[in-house]
Structure formats: C-alpha cells, structure tokens
Amino acid sequence: MNQPLAPAPQGLAALEARLRQDLSWLEIPAKQWVTPRLVDGQPVLDVAIIGGGMAGLAAAASLTHQGIVAPIFDQSPEGYEGPWATTARMETLRSPKQLTGPALGLPALTFRAWFEAQFGGEAWDALDKIPRLQWMDYL
Ligand SMILES: Cc1cc2nc3c(=O)[nH]c(=O)nc-3n(C[C@H](O)[C@H](O)[C@H](O)COP(=O)(O)OP(=O)(O)OC[C@H]3O[C@@H](n4cnc5c(N)ncnc54)[C@H](O)[C@@H]3O)c2cc1C
C-alpha cells in the first residue's frame, strides 16, 4: 500500500486560522466569569502566574481558556523565559520529538503542527531531537 504523502508546509498563518476555528468550535476561551474586585480602588487579579516558562505558559493559557484572567510575571526579558536561550548547554531537548508538551490537548498547538506548518512533513520525519532554540520559538 502507498504511504500517505507527508504534508507540505501551509505556513503559520494557516495554522493560526485552524487553531482559531478549533477554539471557536470548542467555545474557547470561555467568557470571563470571576466577579471583578477592587481593593483600595485598584483592580485585583484573579490569578498572577509567577514565571513564564513551560509550566507558567501552560497554566496561563489553560486558565484563560476557562475564562479566568491569569497574566504572567517573569523576571527574565520576553523571549528569554526558561532555560532554553540562556542557561541551557545541551543543544536539543532530551525528550523524543513525539511527546506533545504543553499543547493543552489541542493538535494545532503541538510542536509538530508548528514545525510542519513551516517546514513540512518530510522535515518532521527527518528531525531527530528538537533544537532548544527552536523549542523556545515554539513556546
Ligand atoms: C537543554 C535542555 C533540555 C531539556 N530537555 C527537556 C525535555 O526534553 N523535556 C522536558 O520535559 N524537560 C526538559 N528540560 C527541562 C526543562 O528545563 C524543564 O522541563 C522546563 O523548563 C520546566 O518548566 P518550568 O516552567 O517549570 O520552569 P522554567 O522553564 O525554568 O521557567 C521558570 C520561569 O520562572 C521565572 N522565575 C523564576 N523565579 C521567578 C521569580 N521569583 N519572579 C519572576 N519570575 C521568576 C524564570 O525566569 C523562568 O522563566 C530540558 C532542559 C534543558 C536545559
């Protein structure tokens, strides 16, 4: 039997459009539902997430999807959160590329979707471990 053709790159704009459609079908993000509160005349955050690495990003996105405002505060400049572009020494991730990571159960949010949108399915097949800086771009 013939192997299915590896998908050609569709571009990130097409992937974003697909993600928007998927989220819309799932009614995500939910409407904000926590009652706004003021303390000393200042609005109070529902949740503050300290650290915008993988865990903080996933937590913020997950809460936002559930209609809870959850801004991230990170001591590192934007684009340098986590170890990937700063303290990391290994050039690749340790996990195999098939582990989906912080995709929140949404296929269009996986590294593979992000990678194939730009480089196509043949490049995905040829990829061994994910380079750390590419992982940071994805995050
Ligand atoms: C080369 C390399 C390969 C790796 N491969 C894998 C792998 O394949 N799979 C895997 O699961 N893990 C891998 N790891 C481990 C990976 O680093 C962690 O899994 C991941 O970074 C944990 O995410 P995190 O959000 O918990 O923490 P981090 O990514 O470390 O993020 C924490 C964030 O919090 C911020 N922060 C900390 N304290 C404060 C504060 N007081 N105020 C404000 N901000 C603060 C930091 O600036 C940082 O941005 C690898 C690590 C390296 C270096």
For 5-35, the pLDDT digits (tens) are: 788 899 999 999 999 999 999 999 999 999 9
From CA 69, how far away is CA 61, in angstroms rounded? 9
Pocket of ligand 1, candidates 62, 72, 81, 90: which has the most ligand atoms within 8 Å of its Cβ, to mutate?
Answer: 81
Task: Kindly state the percentage of the chain with pLDDT values over 90.
Answer: 93
Picking from 133, 127, 135, the residue whose alpha carbon sits closest to that of residue 111 is 135
Question: Does residue 131's CB lie within 6 angstroms of at least one atom of ligand 1?
Answer: no
| 25 domain residue, yes or no | yes
Confirm or reject: Cβ of 132 under 6 Å from ligand 1.
Answer: yes
User: Containing domain of residue 25, as a range?
Assistant: 12-138
> CB–CB of 29/64 below 8 Å?
yes
3 belongs to a structural domain? no
Q: Select from 75, 135, 138 the residue to mutate for testing ligand 1; criterion: most ligand atoms less than 8 Å from CB.
A: 75
Does the residue 17 lie in any domain? yes
Give me the mean pLDDT over the 92-121 stretch: 97
Three-state SS sequence of 109-137: HCHHHHHHHHHHHHHHHHCCCCEHHHHHH
Whether 54 maps to a domain, the answer reads yes
Q: 111-126 vs 12-25: helix axis angle to the nearest 10?
A: 130
Q: Report the C-alpha gap between 45 and 91 in whole angstroms.
A: 38
Residue 101 lies in a domain: yes
What was the pLDDT predicted at 67? 96
Q: Please state the domain count of the chain.
A: 1
Element housing 14 (H / E): helix 12-25
Q: Is 61 inside a domain boundary?
A: yes
Distance (angstroms) between ligand 1 centre and the Cα of 72 equals: 14
Beta carbons of 51 and 72 less than 8 angstroms apart: yes
